């Protein structure tokens, strides 16, 4: 695993203690078995029954020695969260006792009932069987006395029903194409290219006392009502601010829990919004980074409760306050330790770097719609384009230096090949780009940060699997196209220079180094023909586009049927999310807000009568009562409108896509005016009458 240098003394004792790591495997497995397993892990070969049997026995011994009584196949269904079903190791013996057993078969394959997980029509409920298959590339670990075995999940008929399967397939696809490119550069030593990911995770923490009193937070993860507090993030005093004791205690507890499971939690700090924080791990191969991010999210929620806190992972828990995202740092690594997006120190390496860089640029431009849908969710619709997160328009930030080099290449000057065969830019080597940290742009959805790309659109609660299998596949496709062309070239250096130049010319439009939050960029992007996909409902359409179906099919990442099912699941998820939000809003409005406002109005009316009868001045009370009254009328009318909108949307049965559109245009649209009235009423009535915790309570009272 990773070496974590900071606090090595404390960490040494706990880091990875609950992981069936390479070191544990080496120690506990016979040499030949260990070698066979490594080969399987590294080269993706099939695992023999014999090897599985021995590994299972060793795993069980180790797990039991660490207090485990159960094992579970841990998988990632289309719900976006993980699923687990625990079986104990016990097996009865003839004398009425039990022994601990765990077979190779149990390790390799599980058969959970698949009928209760979303399948988007891939299987009907009477064919409910599903399989989980051991993913030996992600290490097993122990949590809460169970041995967790990372697995892929598929239907009886073989279709993927999860987020991990396409991710693993995409890593193979990318490996295959990237190796072709490396071979062209004369590199025959590299055996495998993987993608690496470091996801920075944002989250909110609020006091559980307040959470428990908010139906909206409990049922939907976000506040559906809530007036702006007098103080928001205006003073910018929270970002990197000093940690409160309670938060620091939570973070330190969280770190320990994660470290024990081998998650390399590295950086922690306060974020821009009050009560918002961030955790970043050290990057890992994509598959493990994905598993670890799921574990991180789960552990955050669990550890928060221990501290009387609730961790909110929703993309927009509070209106008017920055929401949370996940920065997906992504790069390509070889098994001999090269980062393929690191500019090299020789012209040869630079050319290779430029080719990979260009491949990513082309991929992002050609398949911006697929990347957009990878970050699409009802929660993220509140963020993207809201001047706090990247806009819904995908563009790439390259920085001035690289853009300048690309400009030179585009204008022809710098691509000449010198010395017959030596690939050169015709100038000296690229400058030390990775050392240049002044060149930063926080507004770009897809930024080159020196030796990796940072995809910043992903939502905080989303799995990173889709973003990454999309990235891997689209880059595999461009690398494949490049390899096709270069392999057929007579004069490789010449062909390479021409290819880079041509690709830059064709995809220059996707590069934008300016401020992505401005209206000018929205207009400029439209002129450049870049798609601006504002909502999830529109974004989902990308999945059914022929070019995208063909792409996923060609690289064997998702079949047409699997793609179709994913579109269906996304529509259904959108519909259900909005349905629950609308019903929750209606219930809070009817049963909490209306009664509170009516009670306060009654109180005011009483005062007016009493004080008025005694001849006192009641003009202030009357004015207030009047404003409350008219707001209350509007509130109640908007409540009825929302109620009706839900009925109308529910009545749409032609297709999930149509129904999702109805939910967006009718239901979502009807929620905003109701909220506006509700929030104004909160500002008008006495604090003692308001039935739910306020934004000030939740954001500042930790």
Name the residues that contact Mg ion, by CB under 5 A.
327
Whole-angstrom distance, CA of residue 340 vs CA of residue 484: 19
Question: With CB cut-offs between 5 and 8 Å by kind, which of Mg ion, ligand ADP, none does residue 453 bind?
Answer: none
CB–CB of 78/69 below 8 Å?
Answer: no
Beta bridge partners of 277: 203, 270
Applying CB under 6 A, does 657 fall inside the site for ligand ADP?
A: no
**Nearer to ligand ADP by C-beta: 115 or 451?**
451
Site for ligand ADP, residues 589 to 608, rule: CB under 6 A: none
**Nearer to ligand ADP by C-beta: 332 or 586?**
332
Question: With CB cut-offs between 5 and 8 Å by kind, which of ligand ADP, Mg ion, none does residue 363 bind?
Answer: none
Min separation Cβ 455 and ligand ADP, Å: 11
Q: Could you give the string, one character per residue 267-286, with x where binding to ligand ADP holds by CB under 6 A and - elsewhere? A: -------------xxxx---
**Of 194-202, 310-318, 382-390, 506-514, which part binds ligand ADP (CB under 6 A)?**
194-202
- Size of interface with ligand ADP, in residues (CB under 6 A): 14
CB–CB of 658/602 below 8 Å?
Answer: no
Whole-angstrom distance, CA of residue 126 vs CA of residue 215: 36
Question: With CB cut-offs between 5 and 8 Å by kind, which of Mg ion, ligand ADP, none does residue 151 bind?
Answer: none
**Of 191-199, 251-259, 472-480, 592-600, which part binds ligand ADP (CB under 6 A)?**
191-199
Min separation Cβ 223 and Mg ion, Å: 27
CB–CB of 319/199 below 8 Å?
Answer: no
Type and span of the H or E element at 201: strand 193-207
Neighbouring CB atoms inside 10 A of 580's CB total 15
Min separation Cβ 195 and ligand ADP, Å: 8
**Nearer to ligand ADP by C-beta: 330 or 397?**
330
Question: With CB cut-offs between 5 and 8 Å by kind, which of Mg ion, ligand ADP, none does residue 559 bind?
Answer: none
Question: With CB cut-offs between 5 and 8 Å by kind, which of Mg ion, ligand ADP, none does residue 281 bind?
Answer: ligand ADP
Applying CB under 6 A, does 4 fall inside the site for ligand ADP?
A: no
Torsion angle of alpha carbons 237, 381, 580, 594, nearest 10°?
60
Applying CB under 6 A, does 678 fall inside the site for ligand ADP?
A: no
Applying CB under 6 A, does 694 fall inside the site for ligand ADP?
A: no
The HSE-up count of residue 33 (CA atoms within 13 Å, CB side) is 18
Min separation Cβ 340 and ligand ADP, Å: 9
Neighbouring CB atoms inside 10 A of 577's CB total 18
CB–CB of 244/207 below 8 Å?
Answer: no
DSSP state of 339: B
Torsion angle of alpha carbons 448, 452, 458, 464, nearest 10°?
160
Whole-angstrom distance, CA of residue 304 vs CA of residue 82: 19
Question: With CB cut-offs between 5 and 8 Å by kind, which of Mg ion, ligand ADP, none does residue 282 bind?
Answer: ligand ADP
**Of 196-204, 539-547, 603-611, 667-675, which part binds ligand ADP (CB under 6 A)?**
196-204
Question: With CB cut-offs between 5 and 8 Å by kind, which of Mg ion, ligand ADP, none does residue 339 bind?
Answer: ligand ADP
**Nearer to Mg ion by C-beta: 175 or 380?**
380
Question: With CB cut-offs between 5 and 8 Å by kind, which of Mg ion, ligand ADP, none does residue 197 bind?
Answer: ligand ADP
Applying CB under 6 A, does 331 fall inside the site for ligand ADP?
A: yes
**Nearer to Mg ion by C-beta: 326 or 664?**
326
- Which listed residue (198, 390, 391, 399) binds ligand ADP by CB under 6 A? 198
Torsion angle of alpha carbons 243, 244, 247, 251, nearest 10°?
40
**Of 181-189, 190-198, 205-213, 410-418, which part binds ligand ADP (CB under 6 A)?**
190-198
**Where does residue 157 rank: exposed (0-12), middle (13-18), buried (19+ CB within 10 A)?**
exposed
- Which listed residue (197, 474, 539, 649) binds ligand ADP by CB under 6 A? 197
Applying CB under 6 A, does 80 fall inside the site for ligand ADP?
A: no
Q: Could you give the 3-state DSSP secondary structure of residue 155?
A: strand
Question: With CB cut-offs between 5 and 8 Å by kind, which of Mg ion, ligand ADP, none does residue 283 bind?
Answer: ligand ADP
- Which listed residue (123, 268, 452, 566) binds ligand ADP by CB under 6 A? 452
Tell me the three-class secondary structure of 408-454, residue by residue.
Answer: HHHCCHHHCCECCCECCCCCCCCCCHHHCCCCCCCCCCEEECCCCEE
**Of 193-201, 268-276, 542-550, 565-573, which part binds ligand ADP (CB under 6 A)?**
193-201
Min separation Cβ 446 and Mg ion, Å: 12
Residue 604 phi/psi, 5-degree rounding, is: -60, -45
Min separation Cβ 619 and Mg ion, Å: 56
Neighbouring CB atoms inside 10 A of 272's CB total 15
Q: What are the distances in angstroms from CA 580 to CA 219, 583, 586?
A: 8, 5, 10
Applying CB under 6 A, does 659 fall inside the site for ligand ADP?
A: no
Applying CB under 6 A, does 357 fall inside the site for ligand ADP?
A: no
Q: How far apart are the first and last CA of the chain?
A: 36
Whole-angstrom distance, CA of residue 328 vs CA of residue 445: 10
Min separation Cβ 442 and Mg ion, Å: 9
Min separation Cβ 451 and ligand ADP, Å: 6
Q: Could you give the string, one character per residue 142-161, with x where binding to ligand ADP holds by CB under 6 A and - elsewhere? A: --------------------
- DSSP assignments along 118-150, one per residue: --TTSS-GGG-BEEEEE-TTS--EEETTEEEEE
Applying CB under 6 A, does 318 fall inside the site for ligand ADP?
A: no
CB–CB of 677/635 below 8 Å?
Answer: yes
Beta strands in 261-325 (DSSP E): 265-270, 276-281, 284-285, 309-312
- Which listed residue (196, 293, 395, 577) binds ligand ADP by CB under 6 A? 196
Distance, C-alpha 424 to centroid of its chain? 39
Whole-angstrom distance, CA of residue 247 vs CA of residue 296: 16
Residues 370, 372, 374, 376: is their CA dihedral positive or negative?
A: negative
Binding site for ligand ADP (CB under 6 A): 196-198, 200, 280-283, 329-331, 339, 451-452
């Amino acid at each position: 695993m990773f070496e974590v240098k900071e606090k090595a003394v404390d960490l040494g004792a706990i880091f990875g203690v609950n992981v069936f790591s390479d070191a544990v495997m080496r120690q506990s497995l016979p040499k030949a078995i260990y070698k066979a397993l490594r080969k399987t892990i590294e080269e993706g070969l099939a695992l023999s029954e014999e090897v599985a049997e021995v590994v299972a026995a060793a795993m069980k011994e180790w797990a039991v020695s660490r207090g485990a009584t159960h094992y579970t196949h841990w998988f990632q269904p289309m719900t976006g969260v993980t699923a687990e079903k625990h079986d104990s190791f016990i097996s009865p013996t003839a004398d009425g006792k039990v022994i601990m057993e765990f077979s190779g078969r149990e390790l390799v394959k599980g058969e959970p009932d698949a009928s209760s997980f979303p399948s988007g029509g891939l299987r009907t409920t009477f064919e409910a069987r599903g399989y989980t298959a051991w993913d030996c590339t992600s290490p097993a670990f122990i949590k809460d006395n169970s041995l967790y075995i990372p697995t892929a999940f598929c239907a009886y008929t073989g279709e993927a029903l999860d987020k991990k399967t396409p991710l693993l397939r995409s890593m193979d696809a990318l490996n295959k194409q990237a190796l072709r490119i490396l071979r062209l550069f004369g590199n025959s030593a590299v055996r495998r290219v993987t993608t690496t990911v470091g996801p920075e995770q944002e989250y909110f923490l609020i006091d559980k006392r307040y959470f428990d009193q908010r139906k909206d937070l409990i049922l939907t993860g976000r506040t559906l009502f809530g007036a702006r507090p007098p103080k928001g993030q205006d003073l910018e005093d929270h970002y990197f601010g000093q940690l409160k004791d309670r938060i620091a205690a939570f973070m330190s507890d969280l770190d320990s829990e994660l470290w024990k499971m081998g998650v390399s939690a590295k950086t922690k700090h306060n974020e821009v919004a009050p009560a918002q924080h961030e955790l970043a791990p050290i990057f890992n191969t994509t598959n493990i980074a994905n598993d670890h991010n799921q574990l991180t999210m789960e552990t955050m929620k669990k550890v928060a409760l221990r501290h009387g806190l609730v961790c909110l992972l929703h993309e927009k828990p509070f209106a008017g306050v920055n929401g949370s995202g996940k920065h997906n740092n992504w790069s390509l690594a070889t098994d001999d330790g090269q980062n393929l997006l690191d500019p090299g120190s020789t012209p040869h390496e630079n050319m290779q770097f430029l080719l990979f860089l260009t491949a990513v640029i082309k991929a992002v431009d050609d398949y911006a719609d697929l990347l957009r849908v990878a970050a699409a969710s009802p929660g993220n619709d509140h963020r993207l384009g809201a001047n706090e997160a990247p806009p819904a328009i995908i563009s790439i930030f390259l920085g001035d230096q690289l853009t300048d080099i690309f400009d030179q290449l585009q204008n022809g000057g710098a691509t000449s090949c010198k010395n017959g065969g030596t690939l050169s830019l015709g100038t000296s080597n690229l400058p030390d780009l990775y050392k240049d940290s002044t060149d930063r742009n926080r507004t770009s959805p897809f930024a080159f940060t020196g030796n990796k790309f940072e995809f910043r659109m992903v939502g905080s609660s989303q799995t990173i699997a889709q973003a990454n299998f999309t990235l891997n596949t689209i880059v595999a496709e461009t690398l494949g196209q490049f390899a096709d062309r270069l392999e057929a070239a007579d004069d490789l250096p010449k062909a390479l220079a021409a290819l880079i130049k041509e690709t830059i010319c064709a995809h220059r439009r996707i590069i934008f180094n300016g401020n992505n939050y401005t209206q000018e960029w929205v207009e400029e992007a439209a002129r450049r023909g870049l798609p601006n996909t504002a909502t999830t409902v529109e974004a989902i359409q990308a999945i059914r586009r022929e070019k995208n179906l063909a792409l996923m099919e060609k690289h064997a990442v998702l079949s047409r049927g699997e793609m179709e099912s994913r579109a269906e699941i996304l529509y259904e998820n959108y519909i259900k999310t909005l349905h629950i939000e609308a019903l929750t809003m209606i219930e809070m409005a009817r049963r909490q807000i209306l009664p509170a406002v009516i009670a306060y109005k009654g109180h005011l009316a009483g005062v007016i009568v009493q004080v008025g009868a005694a001849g006192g001045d009641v003009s202030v009370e009357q004015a207030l009562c009047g404003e409350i009254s008219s707001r209350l009328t509007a509130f109640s009318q908007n409540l009825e409108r929302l109620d009706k909108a839900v009925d109308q949307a529910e009545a749409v049965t032609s297709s999930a896509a149509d129904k999702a559109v109805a939910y967006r245009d009718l239901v979502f649209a009807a929620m905003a005016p109701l909220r506006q009235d509700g929030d104004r009423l909160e500002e008008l009535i006495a604090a003692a009458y308001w039935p739910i915790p306020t934004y000030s309570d939740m954001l500042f009272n930790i």
